[in-house]
Amino acid sequence: MTTHEDDTSALAVDEVPDDIDESVESPSPAELNAETLSGLVSYTLDWSVQSLLERIGKTFDINPSFQRRDAWSNDRKSLYIESLLLGLPVPQIVLAEDPSAKGRFIVLDGKQRLVTMKQFASPDENFKSFKLKGLQFVSELNNMSYENLQESPIYSEYADGFLAQPIRTIVIRNWGSPAVLYNIFVRLNQGSLSLSPQELRQALYPNDFTRWINTRSAQSNLIHEARRIKAEDFRMRDAEMLLRFIAFKQSLEEYSGNLRQFLDAACGVGQTTLEGRGEWYLEKLASTCEQAIQRTFTIFRNNAFLRFEENIYNRRFNIAVFDVMTAVLSDPLLDDRLIEEHAAEIEDAYKDLCLNDSEFQSALKASTKTIKATASRILKFSERVEAITGKTLEVTSRAIALALKAN
C-alpha cells in the first residue's frame, strides 16, 4: 500500500469547517405538513436522577457503543454534575416514544447529559467513570468520584441529594413518520453546535448493521485522515462517510435526490445484506472504501478530497469530492499500479474539470440534494479517468443511468 507519511503534518491540523455543510438536512415540505403533525402529542415528566440512571442503556436506548464518542470534556461534565448537586436549573431532556418497542424512548436532546449522569453515578464497562474537576461553587469536591462522595462522612449528603434531584423531560408520542423527528431534531439544534443526523439515524434504526457502521468507522484511520479529524468523531461524520460510500456503492442508480431518505433506506438494506451475506461482505465494502481513500491520497497527497479553485486547493474537506473519488477510484477495473502510473494525469484532469467545466464546478459546490449534481460530478470525473487509464469503468454506466433518471 502506498503511504503518505510526508503529508501527515498537513492532516494533523485543527479541524476546519467543511466545504459543504450537510450536517442536518430538514425534511422536504412534501414529507411534512400540518396533517402529518395532527396526531402528535407531547407531555412533560419529572424524573429523579436515580430514575433516569435506572433507564439509561435500557429503556433509554442510547446505544452504549456510542459512548466512546464523547462530546463533552471532563470540565463540562463536572459543571453539569455540580449544577445537579446544588439543585441549579438544568436544560430539559427531550424524548420520543418508540412505537416499535413499548417502554423504549429515543433521545432527541440531552444524550450527553444522560451519559454524564451515568458515567458519574453508575459507571460500567460501557460508561467510563470520571472524577470532578474545575468546580466553581463546591471546589472542595474536586478530584472526587461519586463513590468518594458516598463514602465521605462530610459530603455524603451531596450524593443523596444528587439522586433525588428532579429533571424535567418532554416526551413526544404519536410522531408517525421519522421525518417528524428529524424536523424536531433540526429545530432543537438551531443556533447551537451543528450535529450530524447520523446519531439520530442510528437511534431510529437500531440494528446490527448500524452498530457495525459505528464501530468500523471508528476504527478507520484512513476515514479520519480523509476528513481531517484526529480520531473517531463524536458527531459521527466518519460513520456517515462510510454509510454514504456503501449506499452509493450498492444503490447509486436508485438515488432520488433526498440524501436523508437514501441513507435511512441504506440502514435497512445494510441489515438485509448483513443477514444474507454476512459481515465479511460488509468488511469487503469497508476495505474497498479505504482502498479508494488511499488511492486518492496517492494522486492528490495532502490535497485529497479538496476542491480546486482559482489555481489553489480550498483547504476545507468537501464531501462531494469524497463521494466522487471513492465512487470512481473504488471501481473494480482499476488497480493500485494503474493509479500510481497515471496519478499526475488524473490530478491534472481533476484540476481542469474544477477550472474549466462550469457544470462540474457547480456540482462540487452543491450539497447532495439533486440527482443531476450527484450524477454529473461522478460521471465527468469517471469519463476522464477512463480516457487516461483506457479502462471502461462500471461506475460510468451507473452514473449515466442516474443522469438519465434526472432528465
Domain co-membership, 233 together with 159? no
Return the pLDDT at 392.
96
pLDDT in tens, 212-224: 999 999 999 999 9
183 found inside a domain = no
Return the pLDDT at 127.
87
29 found inside a domain = no
pLDDT, averaged across the chain: 86
Exposure string of 50-68, with b = 16+ CB inside 10 Å and e = fewer, is eebbebbbeebbbbeebbe
pTM: 0.71
CA distance 88 to 311: 55
33 found inside a domain = no
**Which tops the pLDDT comparison, 303 or 175?**
303
DSSP β-bridge partners for residue 97: 105
Residue 57, classed as helix, strand or coil, is: coil
Return the pLDDT at 11.
38
Residue 163: domain span: 41-173
Per-residue pLDDT averaged across 189-200, rounded? Answer: 63
Q: 29 falls in which pLDDT band (50, 70, 90)?
A: low
Kindly give, in sequence order, each residue whose CB lies less than 8 Å from that of residue 276, ignoring residues fewer than 6 positions away: none
Q: DSSP string covering 247-299, please?
A: HHHHHGGG--S-HHHHHHHHHHHHHHHHHHH-HHHHHHHHHHHHHHHHHHHHH
Residue 64 pLDDT > 50, yes or no?
no
Other Cβ atoms less than 10 A from the Cβ of 15: the count is 12
Residue 210 pLDDT > 70, yes or no?
yes
Domain co-membership, 99 together with 228? no
179 found inside a domain = no
End-to-end CA distance of the chain: 40
**Which tops the pLDDT comparison, 305 or 26?**
305
> Per mean pLDDT, which range of 179-193, 319-333, 366-380 is the poorest?
179-193
Residue 2 pLDDT > 60, yes or no?
no
372 found inside a domain = yes
Return the pLDDT at 20.
63
Contacts 24+ apart (CB under 8 A), 95-101: 95/60, 95/169, 95/170, 95/171, 95/172, 96/171, 96/172, 96/173, 96/175, 96/181, 96/184, 97/171, 97/172, 97/173, 97/174, 97/175, 98/61, 99/174
Domain co-membership, 116 together with 86? yes
CA distance 320 to 366: 8
Q: 397 falls in which pLDDT band (50, 70, 90)?
A: very high
Domain co-membership, 344 together with 208? yes
User: What size, in residues, is the chain?
Assistant: 407
Task: For cell 434531584, name the residue.
Answer: 165
Q: DSSP string covering 201-249, please?
A: HHHHS-SHHHHHHHHHHHT-HHHHHHHT-SS--TT-HHHHHHHHHHHHH
Return the pLDDT at 395.
97
> Per mean pLDDT, which range of 13-27, 170-184, 213-227, 346-360 is the poorest?
13-27
Return the pLDDT at 59.
87
Residue 169 pLDDT > 70, yes or no?
yes
Per-residue pLDDT averaged across 361-379, rounded? Answer: 85
Per-residue pLDDT averaged across 110-134, rounded? Answer: 91
Kindly give, in sequence order, each residue whose CB lies less than 8 Å from that of residue 140, ignoring residues fewer than 6 positions away: 155
Reference 109, options 126, 98, 123, 95; nearest CA is: 95
Percent of the chain scored above 90 by pLDDT?
63
Considering only the C-alpha atoms of the chain, give the largest distance between any 2 of them, rounded to a whole number of Å. 79
Residue 162 pLDDT > 70, yes or no?
yes
Question: Amino acid identity, residue 8?
Answer: T
94 found inside a domain = yes
CA distance 269 to 139: 52
CA distance 340 to 316: 25
Domain co-membership, 283 together with 352? yes
Return the pLDDT at 209.
95
Domain co-membership, 278 together with 150? no
Per-residue pLDDT averaged across 313-320, rounded? Answer: 92
CA distance 135 to 53: 22
DSSP state of 59: T
Residue 187 pLDDT > 80, yes or no?
no
Question: Amino acid identity, residue 96?
Answer: A
- Inter-residue contact 170 to 44 (CB < 8 Å): yes
Domain co-membership, 244 together with 390? yes
Domain count, the chain: 2
- The last residue of one of the domains, among 143, 173, 203, is 173
288 found inside a domain = yes
178 found inside a domain = no
Q: 31 falls in which pLDDT band (50, 70, 90)?
A: low
Per-residue pLDDT averaged across 285-304, rounded? Answer: 97
Domain co-membership, 205 together with 343? yes
Return the CA Rg of the chain.
24
Which conformational region is residue 45 in: left (phi greater than 0), alpha (psi within -120 to 50 degrees), or beta? Answer: beta
Residue 308 pLDDT > 70, yes or no?
yes
- Inter-residue contact 326 to 395 (CB < 8 Å): no
Domain co-membership, 20 together with 78? no
Return the pLDDT at 240.
93
Domain co-membership, 248 together with 151? no
Domain co-membership, 283 together with 374? yes
Domain co-membership, 200 together with 169? no
